[in-house]
Amino acid sequence: MLKSSTQLGANFIYFARTRESLEILKWWILCALDSKCMNPDGAKLNCQFADNRYEIYANCFRFDQSVLNLLLLNKFQDHKKYLSSNGFGGSHY
């Protein structure tokens, strides 16, 4: 679904203290406490990038970011409304 968009690294996250953000954060932390949620069997930390890193799978996955994205999608539903455009031209609204 989102393969045509570029994904950004989640190296820094700011949460405003709202009821909604605390609920999402609660479930994210609960998932992190379960090793099968963010660290399933076969999960790898190191990526093995080929020459074309956008077309060839690097044999790794960021489960922490994926869980957060799924929690946000479940809460807000419309994945296109909150897509970033990589900082070029603003966000899609």
Q: Which ranges constitute the DSSP H helices of the chain?
A: 19-32, 35-38, 63-76
**Domain with 37 in it:** 19-76
DSSP 34: S
State pTM to two decimals: 0.59
CA-based nearest residue to 28, from 39, 38, 19, 36: 38
Measured from the Cβ of residue 28, the count of other Cβ atoms closer than 10 Å reads 20
Name residues whose C-beta falls within 8 Å of residue 2's C-beta, 6 or more positions apart in sequence.
Answer: 79, 83
Query: 86 lies in a domain?
Result: no
Judged against a pLDDT cut of 80, whether residue 6 lies above it is answered with no
Query: 47 lies in a domain?
Result: yes
Number of independent structural domains in the chain: 1
Query: 82 lies in a domain?
Result: no
Query: 89 lies in a domain?
Result: no
Q: What is the pLDDT of residues 59-92, one digit of tens each?
A: 777 788 888 888 988 888 765 665 666 655 444 4
Judged against a pLDDT cut of 90, whether residue 24 lies above it is answered with yes
